Structure 1
Amino acid sequence: MADAPPTYRFEAFELDCANRQLRRAGEPVELGSRYFDALALLVARPGELVSKDAFMAEVWHGVPVTDEALTQCIRTLRRALGDAAGTPRFIQTVPKHGYRFIAPLASEPPRLRAEAAGEARRLPAQVAGTATLAGLAVGLLAGLVYGVLAGTGGGGQVLILAAMVGALGLLAGAGLGAGIAAALAWRGRANAAVVAGAMLGGLAVGALGNLLGREGVGLLSGLAIAGVTGPFEGLVLGTASGIAAQAALSGRRRGAVLGLALAAGALGGALIHLAGGTLLAGSLHALEQGLPGAQLRFDRLGPQGFTSGVRAFTAVVEGASFVGALAAGLLGLRRR
């Protein structure tokens, strides 16, 4: 098994290569992806000359760029580190040749390295569990809300609906969590693979949910239920969830992560509605229409019934709630 990407410490800084994050006194310092790669390249070779050709090969991967791009990169790194070209503490310029990282690196006891490696191995399972619990929580809440607003069968029906929708939320969270966890285990860090894993997880969960909701009800009742959530909806929400998960796990600021998650979820819900898809409220409304005696009255959700506008509103709120809950859970995991 390959060693976990290292973490370097110098003065008040910590360069966490596994999570692609630079921290100062425990607080994240924002760096672009290429700038992070350039700093990691320098820090991995303390005291050594890193040539311009090495930067071009390992940071820009052979893509032709001007010398000004490298100069701007080093300038940005110095600004992030509080360094100065004239009196460098971290990055020293070697005129016409390249740059050298000159700050001493703090040593890390082997026990701490082993603990960090163990934590990295546990992370995928922790992410999968957190996503599953987030899906369960938002499903229970949605079931309670719709049970109170649209149910006609009293408190018992509200609890049954909450349990049923909670189970669906648990299934959705488990599928997305499995996809994200698989990507983390494969790549070892939160990158674009996390988004791809969430997309595939959402697609699989949407297909399974559609099968259970449509074919399962049909098998038990002999009635066909159309218009329930399916693979397309799962793919869209999976994409939004993956974007939020990548942001949460890569160390971005909590407020920015939550804002991104809510916006991505809301946009996903709107896209699903505009494409003619349906989420929870639409699926329950389809159940109401297809099963006489279902004890649901979704026409209560709007003054003129369950109109297209109401359907759009519920889709946006559901998308934002689901992705926001997932991001909040992962941020809590990151804090621990």
Structure 2
Amino acid sequence: MCENNAILEAQNLTKKFKISKNSTLTACDDISLKFYQGKTLGIVGESGCGKSTFIKMLSLITKPTSGEIMFRGCDITKLKGEEKRNNHSHIQMIFQNPLEALPPRMKIRDIICEPLLNFKKIKNHEKDEIARKYLEMVELPEEFALRYPHHMSGGQRQRIGIARALVLEPELIICDEATSALDVSVQKNIIELLIRLQKQKQISIGFICHDIVLVSQISHQVAVMYLGNIVEILPGKDLHKYAIHPYTKGLLHSVFYLGMDKSTKIDKLTGEVPSPVNLPNGCPFQSRCSDAKQLCREIKPKLREYQEGHMVACHLLPIDKPV
């Protein structure tokens, strides 16, 4: 991918939460990732791995403990006041549960147009026209403008969430498990809509999910996250064939998907996930890795280049090119 097309870059992003006088929870540990214009970066991992904390830092909902978030050359973690508020128009989110994310007492027209009114980009009398435009964009009839969220299905509500995210013409949209609460057939339609809109508008998408098969199918690049660490980064199309980190392979081997070799054994990941409050020395995956060596228990592996476009954090691989 061309470096010049990176619109947002997380650099050594870390988030620690003080939970008691002597205890600190490390949710994200030294994460560096890039989002490219018109491309989708998928971030996948088990529940509790730090995905949601990471995206909350990107959207400035949560303040990082350390590190930088560079958007178009500016470190947005240092923004305050009106500058910080204005930055929200560039980075928008689509949430997991649209019923909870949409104000229940507001009509769809008002929900879609509220961001524009907040930023004083339209007048009240323009709301009907704007609502029609964005309802059409997400493939909903214009009469939905006067409905309330509870009068709509889950898939329709998520389309409204997409419309609300798009209305400010952001450069990056972050989907936080945006399809996990939907039926599979509806999920497919929402994914197809997002892909079409991305091509039309050249939007960057951060797709956060625990479904590694879905992530690999729709993402140009996939980052695999475990216990607050990025353990592997590679192109989505190569995930099934070239994934090499023991955790990534464990995720792939624990699910069934169409097109897989029917003779493939379905294995579930075993072992206890260490507490993020009491992280072990060395590799964070050591307690669940059957091939872990003494080195894995002593020194934490760095994310290094394995092949072009493919980076792995693992002592078991013949890697000698640090990032």
Q: Which has the higher contact order (CA 8 A, sep 6+)?
A: 2
Structure with greater helix percent = 1
TM tier relative to shorter chain: under 0.3
Structure with greater strand percent = 2
